[in-house]
Structure formats: C-alpha cells, structure tokens
C-alpha cells in the first residue's frame, strides 16, 4: 500500500510539474512560429550551421546593410539586451543603448505586433544557441552611415502604434491584416518608396523595386494586382510557391521556402481574405501595342522560336509547371525589371515540402541580344489580353549591368 501511495504521489507530482511547464513550453512554441511568420531567417541567417548569427547583406539604394546577430551571445549578439531593449527595437527602431535602426529592419511594420507576441518571440530568442559572430551591420557610405539622421527619417516615415482591429470586419480579415501589415511586413517590399526610402503610405502594397527585382502590386486591381487571383491562388502560391499565374523566384522564393510554406492553413486563408478585399491602386488599363508594330513583329517571331514550346503558342502555359502568360497581372506590372532578369539570366522556382522539384527557366542572354529580349517581352506584355509599356533595349542593358 505504501508503495502504491508513493507511486501515486510521484505521478501526481510529475503531472503537476508538467502542467506548470506546459505554459512555458507553449510560449516557446508560439515564439518559434512567430519567428517563422516574420521570416527572421531572411535577414539573420547566412549559414544554416549558424542560425540567426546575422551577416545577410541587404542592398539598399543608399548602400549595403547587414542583418544583425540576434542570438543570445553577449559580445556579438543580443545577450546583454533586456526585454525592454528588444521591445523598443521592434516597435520604435531604437535598440540597446539607444542605437537607432535603419528601416531595412522592418520595425515600421513590427510596431503593430501585440505585447503577447513580442513577449513570446523574445522568450524563444532566449532559447537560441549563442553564437559568437561579429557583424558590421552599418556598411553605408557617408553621410548615410550617420545614425542620428534617422531621427529625421523616423519623424517623416514612421508611425508608432499597435494593430487596431476593424470591428466592421471578420476575425479572419483582421488576422490577415495583422499578418500583412505587421508581422509578415509585406509592405516592406511591396510598397512604393519615397526618395528617402520610406513607404508611401497611400500606396500600400502597390508594388516596388527591391534588390534588382520588382515586388508586384498586391492590391485588388484586375490588370496589375490580385483582382484575378482567387483565394485558392493566393494560398497555393504562399504554400507551394506555384499557382496558375506565377512561380516564386528571387527574394520571394526565399520567403516561401523559409516562411510562408510553414504557415498554418488558417493564417494563409486569413491573408488571402485580407488581400482579396484590398483597395485598388490604378485601374486604368493602357491600350496594347498594335500587332503591326515592328517590335511586336520581331517579338512574335522570337516567342514562337524560343518560348512557345513551354508557354504554348497562345501563352496558356502548363499548369503548375510553366505559368500562363495570357491575361497575367504579373506581366502587366509598370516595371519590367523582374521579367527582364528572368529572361536574361534564367531562374529556378522555389522548392517546397509540397513541391520539392522546382521548375526552371533557362537564361537567354547568351542567344538573344538586348533588342531581341526587349522585343519578346514587349510582345508578351501586349498579347493575349495583356497591355503594358514596351520594354527598350536600354532597359535590358541596365538590368544586365546590375546583374554583373
């Protein structure tokens, strides 16, 4: 009997300890998921063997910045930070000892995070392996390397404040808004910038050029935005990197690989709900170039010889392998940088758990000159329901120079 009583007492004690530890475990699990939602890997991991030790170079119009070491190393990371230091960095752009952060660290979006999410993320960071890795985060030339200038930058470009739900909208819509506007920081890449590199608030998600790629319009516009995309299209793209219109490549491929493919289904659906109810930015549709235009004639010949085998003569593509080009909002973007880059240098789509075999686009810079690449892109951008500004040979040359 004594043995049974002792066993019962031991089991009760173990159950009690487990119950007490569970909330803490849940906090760490939530924090880990929040780091995935925020795609912390993108800027803070250069080597998978040294996660979150920083060093990722971020090319801005003003020079190069590098992602910081955010492991708990006391000398080179944030091991001597307090929670208040962390909270202020995330919500105000001011780190340890008052060090001001550049907007490449998207505190302008993270300021919308809830207190609980900040606490959970901080708790998870404390569980990371401390890694001694010195990073020179500020590699900007003078005068942009002077951090005190950020006082004026913040005054002009930063509005502090947590996310406020819209009571007129559903819980799902508000969750999507929280993720897009805040933790997911989608606007950091997809919102057009002013001359100081700050977001143009009235152009949220209207599209912007980032690190040699064009992050497209995510508004509800039919011609250049997500108006034609269904919620299923959006979820598929974020989960697998593929839908009928697009295959994720460039910076978005990394975002899908490290972040969105791991999101919970309810979060993906929430984002799709929010984006589908977004505002339009520019519904004016230009007239397509006439088929008799010399650029269109040359482009049609090149397309038939080099592109039609995969994308079909009518631009229909092949589902989940080669995107359709016909009536494709991504083709109609006002900036053709990404298209020029993909045709010139080629591209490989993102490999995900759901689709481990990634389709690829060959490079054509070796077989087509600048004028020919411009012509075929002009043809694609003005055929099968598309209409967009023609691409010039100088546009192609400029992108090629950047690629070098």
133 annotated among ligand-binding-site residues: no
281 annotated among ligand-binding-site residues: no
190 annotated among ligand-binding-site residues: yes
Q: Is 10 exposed, middle or buried (0-12, 13-18, 19+ CB in 10 A)?
A: exposed
Q: Is 86 exposed, middle or buried (0-12, 13-18, 19+ CB in 10 A)?
A: buried
CB atoms closer than 10 angstroms to residue 344: 21
CB atoms closer than 10 angstroms to residue 67: 23
Two tokens, residue 101: 């952060």
Q: Is 81 exposed, middle or buried (0-12, 13-18, 19+ CB in 10 A)?
A: buried
DSSP string, 257-279: HHTGGGS-HHHHHHHHHHHHTPP
132 annotated among ligand-binding-site residues: no
Which H or E element spans position 57?
strand 57-60
Q: Are strands 138-139 and 63-66 parallel, antiparallel or unpaired?
A: antiparallel
- Measured between alpha carbons, how far is residue 336 from residues 192, 209, 214, 219, 288 in Å? 15, 10, 7, 18, 15
Count, residues in the chain:
404
- Reduced to 3 states (helix: H, G, I; strand: E, B; else coil), residue 318 is strand
258 annotated among ligand-binding-site residues: no
Reduce the secondary structure of 178-232 to three states and give it as a string. Answer: HHHHHHCCCHHHHCCECCCCCECHHHCCCCEEECCEEECCCCCCCCCCCCCCCHH
Binding residues: 40, 43-44, 186, 189-190, 307, 310-311
Binding residues for heme c: 40, 43-44, 186, 189-190, 307, 310-311
């Amino acid at each position: 009997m004594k043995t049974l009583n002792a066993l019962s007492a031991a089991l009760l004690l173990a159950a009690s300890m487990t119950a007490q530890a569970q909330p803490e475990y849940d906090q760490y699990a939530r924090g880990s998921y929040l780091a995935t939602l925020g795609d912390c890997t993108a800027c803070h991991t250069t080597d998978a063997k040294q996660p979150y030790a920083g060093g990722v170079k971020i090319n801005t119009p003003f020079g190069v910045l590098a992602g910081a070491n955010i492991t708990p190393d006391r000398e080179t990371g944030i091991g001597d930070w307090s929670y208040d230091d962390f909270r202020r960095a995330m919500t105000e752009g001011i780190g340890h000892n008052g060090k001001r952060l550049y907007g490449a660290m998207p505190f302008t979006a993270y300021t919308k995070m809830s207190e609980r999410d900040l606490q959970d993320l901080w708790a998870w960071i404390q569980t990371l392996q401390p890694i001694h890795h010195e990073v020179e985060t500020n590699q900007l030339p003078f005068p942009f390397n002077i951090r005190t200038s950020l006082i004026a930058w913040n005054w002009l470009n930063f509005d502090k404040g947590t996310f406020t739900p819209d009571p007129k909208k559903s819980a799902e819509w508000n969750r999507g808004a929280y993720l897009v506007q805040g933790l997911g920081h989608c606007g950091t890449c997809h919102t057009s910038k002013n001359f100081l590199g700050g977001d143009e608030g009235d152009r949220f998600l209207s599209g912007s050029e980032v690190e040699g790629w064009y992050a497209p319009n995510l508004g509800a516009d039919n011609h250049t935005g997500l108006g034609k995309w269904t919620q299923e299209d959006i979820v598929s793209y974020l989960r697998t990197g593929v839908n009928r219109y697009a295959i994720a490549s460039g910076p978005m491929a990394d975002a899908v690989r490290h972040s969105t493919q791991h999101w919970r289904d309810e979060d993906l659906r929430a984002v799709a709900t929010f984006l589908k109810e977004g505002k339009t930015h520019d519904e004016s549709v230009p007239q397509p170039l006439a088929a008799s235009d010399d650029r269109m004639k040359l482009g049609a010949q090149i397309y038939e010889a080099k592109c039609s085998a995969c994308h079909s003569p009518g631009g229909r593509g092949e589902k989940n392998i080669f995107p359709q080009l016909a009536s494709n909002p991504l083709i109609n973007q006002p900036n053709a940088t990404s298209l020029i880059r993909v045709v010139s240098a080629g591209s490989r789509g993102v490999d995900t758990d759901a689709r481990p075999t990634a389709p690829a686009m060959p490079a054509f810079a070796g077989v087509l000159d600048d004028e020919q690449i411009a012509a075929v892109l002009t043809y694609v951008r003005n055929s099968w329901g598309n209409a967009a500004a023609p691409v010039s040979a100088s546009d192609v040359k400029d992108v090629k120079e950047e690629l070098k």
